Amino acid sequence: MKVKEIKSNTKKLKESDLASIIKELHSLGELIRARQEEKQAVINEFNSEDRRFLVGKLSQRTINSSIKKTRAELKRLNQEIRDTIKESKEKLNEIDKLISAQSPKRFRVSLSGVR
C-alpha cells in the first residue's frame, strides 16, 4: 500500500525582514532625539548671544544676522523632525502589515489526514 505523505505548511514570518524594519525604526528614533538635541543646542547658543547683545558686547547688526540664522536652523530641524516622524510611522505600518499577514492558517487533523 502506497502511503500518501502529508504536506501541509504553516505560515512563516520572515524574521530577517522584521529585524531590518525594527533596526530602521530604532535608528529613526535615535535620529529624532539627535535632532531635538541639536535644536536645544541652537536655542542655547542663541540665548548666550542674546545675553551678550543685552550687555552691549554685540552689535545690533550681528544679533540680526544671528536671528536670521537661528530661525533658518530651527525651521530646518523642525522639518527634519517632522519627516523622521512620518518615516517612523511608515515603518510602524510596515511592521503591522507584516505581522497581520501571520494570522494563523487553520489546520484540522482527522483519521484521513490534515485539512
Partner 1 sequence: MVQTKKMNEATFAKLVKEFHAVGELIRARQEEKQAIIDSFGLEKKRYSEGKLSKKALESSVKKTNKEFSRLDKELKRCITKVTVIGNASQRLASQQDPRIFIAKTSGIFSFNKKAKRKSPVRKKKVKKKFVRRKK
d(CA 87, CA 93): 10
Strand partners, 114: 109
Residue 20 in contact with partner 1, rule: CB under 8 A: no
- Choose among 76, 80, 81, 52: nearest CA to 66: 52
C-alpha cell at 15: 524574521
- Choose among 101, 114, 98, 104: nearest CA to 5: 114
CB of 5 to partner 1, least distance (A): 7
CB of 85 to partner 1, least distance (A): 5
State which of residues 57, 59, 65, 85 lies at the interface with partner 1 (CB under 8 A).
85
Residue 16 in contact with partner 1, rule: CB under 8 A: no
Residue 43 in contact with partner 1, rule: CB under 8 A: yes
Confirm if 63 and 50 have CB atoms less than 8 A apart: yes
d(CA 31, CA 88): 10
Residue 57 in contact with partner 1, rule: CB under 8 A: no
Residues at the contact surface with partner 1, assessed by CB under 8 A:
1, 3-6, 8-13, 15, 18-19, 22, 25-26, 29-30, 32-33, 36-37, 39-40, 43-44, 46-47, 50, 53, 60, 63-64, 66-67, 70-71, 74, 77-78, 81-82, 85, 88-89, 92, 95-96, 99-100, 102-104, 106-111, 113-114
